[in-house]
Amino acid sequence: MSVATTESVQLVQFLKNVKLFSELSPESLAKLGSRLKTVEFPPSEVIVREGAPGVSMYIIRSGLVEVRKKDPTTGIDFLVAQLGEGAAVGEMALLTSRPRSATVTTVQATVVFTLTRSDFRNLLTQHPEISLGLARILAERVEEATKHVGIDFISLQKENFDPKVVGLVPQTVILLHRLIPVAYVNNALTLAMVNPSNLVAFDDVRRYVKGAIIEPRICTEDDFRKFMDSIYPQLMGLDKGQRTELEKKNTEERRERKEERRKQTSTMDVPVQSFEDLQNEILTGMEVQSEEEEKVNAMELTTASEDAPVVRLANNILALAIKKGASDIHIEPQEKGVVFRLRVDGILKVENVLSKKIQLPLISRLKILSRLDISERRMPQDGRISIKINDRSIDFRVSTVPAKFGEKVVMRVLDKSGSLLPLDQLILHPKVVDLMYRMIHQPYGIIYVTGPTGSGKTTTLYSALNEINSSDVNISTAEDPVEYDLPGLCQVQTHKDIGLDFARILRAFLRQDPDVILVGETRDMETAKISVEAALTGHLVFTTLHTNDAPGSFTRLQEMGIEPFLMANSTIGIVAQRLARRICQNCKVQVEIDDTMLGFFGFTRENAPPFFKGEGCDRCSGNGYRGRVAIYEILVMNDELKRAVAAGAKTDALRDMAEKGGMVNLKEYAMFLMEKGLTTVEEVLTNLVISD
Ligand SMILES: [Zn+2]
């Protein structure tokens, strides 16, 4: 019989404090101790790597390690825990050889005891009593592992508190992170938390309770407040004066927390790996103006969506959309993942497929930012996110729709301070832009801009308004939504829910002595009629119509109940437009096109101009296209057309008449762009033929 050395007594004592071995007898612990090997790791060394086969367990003798799990689709590294002396990692490896479920890295120089699976098995075969001692704890671990993220609920009003335990964490940390230490047994600290996924809170608490294994429990915000107002001061022996101080501090802390959250969303300095092309410069100065919603019913959704990686992910999605110049963001839950798509230059493309696990927190986060009710998941909702990037204000008009696999979120990017191009940079054809200038300088009448959705009508209208905007002109706009901010304009947003539609705003405008009125869209008889009346009573009116070409607008207006003679007298002109993708000028090459195509554009092999396309290069991400270019057709009313419109002439007759009068039609305009090497035959055909 060997006499126990001081060292082995110490080892037994140490092992006794390891939760996994807490039920073993000193004899068993000594036997176990003899099988352990000591390994030393320098700081920042990986002890086990996620995905590697599990062959042994580790018990931390001294030092500190970090446990991280990576989300495979987003690349977000989640800090799961920081573990210190007495903590064990990889104990499941002793039972199964399943791959490691997390990566463990040393934070400081760390000494660990390792026990290999084969040593463990031999030990159990030779000393069956050890198996019994381990069985219960291991069973608990298995249960915990299969339970996933089950965090139990706790009611603070029903617990008994030990002031020593509550006092483990300073009041500032308690108030900052809204948490209460409830119990501290065997290095396990039970922590009641309003937000149990707040990883920063874990770190902060561990700074005061070194090496503790934190066992979070959820408590409600209300419960926490009540606790801090009544139980905490008594428990900590605070007198009335200190309590008032505490209450003051409480509100102060809440404000600071809010401020911190705002900062967190504004710096966004940690790009998600899968968005590695996301530049930091776009992130700095990004400011989420939408205040965090105070009153939210579904607490668990809020807490999950406040988790820093989710906040960053949501921010990165917005930032990426801006960086890529996207017009729309689609977040689309599907059966096995969440598809994240961006519409850039009119084309919708998949950016990423995110993990299904991210769906609820991400969508909740976007809904919080949009001031939507996050507990409502069965009804469509509309909201808005306002942000600022380097003095540019950008709005996202957010819409949610309940779909089969969850809520689909679509966000329209509205760059309100977006660079408005002067008209001559939008309308490149010199003859056509001249017509436009002539029209917008008329004293009164209506200018209609037509084209399918997403054809750039609004941009044309704003550029036109920008052209005539000056301090001696009163310009009022009714919009849905307000897409650009123009200084000096009175811009009004429609609100269907309170009955504030285009017609109503328009009638109000007319009592406000306007010179120029913009009506976002003419889609009903009432709006159409008031616009015509406004034009006939001396106002310049800009509006959009949903028609294919300029001559066809008269038919549309007639369908809306406008008398032909009123149309003839109120209309200045009609702009029809399309948007085609612009050839990347960096990789532009000449191409041959076949005879049928040449014929379509009215050419033969002999008189055909050169045609171009983009070959694809770094600048255009291999697409061959960068940005877009508009195709225009402008019909300006003249006496002959007026007579024909008043007499109710058909669209075809009006078109012939306009073309004879020198109107450059969409096809001719497109031809002009192709000859300049600005767009391709394919783009023109897609935009003109299909929409005809
Ligand atoms: Zn290119």
Distance, CA 17 to ligand 1 centroid (Å)? Answer: 65
Q: How far is the CA of 616 from the centre of ligand 1 (A)?
A: 4
Q: Which of the pair, 254 or 328, is modelled with greater confidence?
A: 328
- pLDDT at residue number 267: 32
Which residue's entry shows tokens 């015509």? Answer: 532
How many Å lie between the centroid of ligand 1 and the Cα of residue 613?
A: 10
> pTM for the full model?
0.53
Residue 482, pLDDT score:
82
CA distance linking residue 339 with residue 309, whole number of Å: 18
- Give the Å distance between the CA of 71 and the centre of ligand 1: 34
- Are 564 and 598 a contacting pair, CB within 8 Å? no
Choice among 69-73, 456-460, 485-489, 683-687 with the minimum mean pLDDT: 69-73
Tell me: pLDDT of 571 over 70.
yes
pLDDT, position 253: 54
Indicate the range of 117-126, 206-215, 248-257, 346-355 predicted with least confidence. Answer: 248-257
CA of 623 to the centre of ligand 1 (A): 7
CA distance 351 to 43: 37
Output the CA 325–ligand 1 centroid distance in Å.
16
Neighbours of 649 (CB within 10 A): 18
Nearest-angstrom CA–CA distance, 117 and 130: 15
Question: Is 412 in contact with 418 (CB distance < 8 Å)?
Answer: no
pLDDT score at 264: 39
* pLDDT exceeds cutoff 70 at 377: yes
Rounded CA-CA distance 439/447 in Å is 8
Could you tell me where the beta strands, DSSP code E, fall in 416-489?
A: 445-450, 475-479
pLDDT of amino acid 638? 94
**How many angstroms is it from 132 CA to the middle of ligand 1?**
69
Q: Considering only 267-271, 519-523, 536-540, which range has the smallest mean pLDDT?
A: 267-271
Amino acid at 423: L
Tell me the CA–centroid distance for residue 626 and ligand 1, in Å.
7
DSSP designation for 617: -
CA of 590 to the centre of ligand 1 (A): 13
162 phi and psi angles, rounded to 5 deg: -100, 120
Q: What is the pLDDT of residue 151?
A: 66
- For the segment 256-264, the average pLDDT, to the nearest whole number, is 46
Taking 60 as the threshold, does the pLDDT of residue 283 lie above it? no
Q: How far apart are the CA of 678 and the centre of ligand 1, in A?
A: 12
Q: What is the Å distance from ligand 1's center to 604 Cα?
A: 29
Report how far ligand 1's centroid is from the alpha carbon of 326 (Å): 18
Q: In this predicted structure, which of 318-322, 390-394, 559-563, 665-669 has the lowest mean pLDDT? A: 390-394
Per-residue pLDDT at 300 exceeds 80: no
Rg of the Cα atoms in the chain: 34
Task: Using the mean position of ligand 1's atoms as its centre, give its distance from the Cα of residue 281 in Å.
Answer: 24
Q: Is residue 485's pLDDT more than 70?
A: yes
> Is residue 425 scored above 70 in pLDDT?
yes
Q: What is the mean pLDDT of the chain?
A: 81
pLDDT band, very low/low/confident/very high, at 290 (cuts 50, 70, 90): very low
Distance separating alpha carbons of residues 121 and 133, to the nearest angstrom: 14
Yes or no: say if 598 and 605 are a contact pair by the CB < 8 Å rule: yes
Burial 201-218 (b: 16+ CB within 10 A, else e): bbebbbeebebbbbebbb
Per DSSP bridges, beta strands 46-48 and 103-106 are antiparallel
What confidence tier does 278 reach under pLDDT thresholds 50, 70, 90? very low
Beta carbons of 575 and 482 less than 8 angstroms apart:
no
Flag whether pLDDT at 276 surpasses 50. no
CA 129 – ligand 1 centroid, Å:
72
pLDDT over 90, % of the chain: 30
CA of 620 to the centre of ligand 1 (A): 4
Q: Ligand 1 mean position to 245 CA, how many Å?
A: 64
Residue-level pLDDT at 432: 95
Residue 614 CA to ligand 1 center (angstroms) comes to 6
Question: How many whole angstroms from 612 Cα to the centroid of ligand 1?
Answer: 12
Residue 486, SS3? coil
Cα of 345 from ligand 1 centre, angstroms: 14
- Give residue 318 CA to ligand 1 midpoint distance, Å: 25
Ligand 1 centroid–CA 581 distance in Å is: 12
Reading the block at residue 433, the tokens are 């832009």
275: CA distance to ligand 1 center in Å? 22
CA of 365 to the centre of ligand 1 (A): 36
Least confident of 187-201, 566-580, 623-637: 187-201
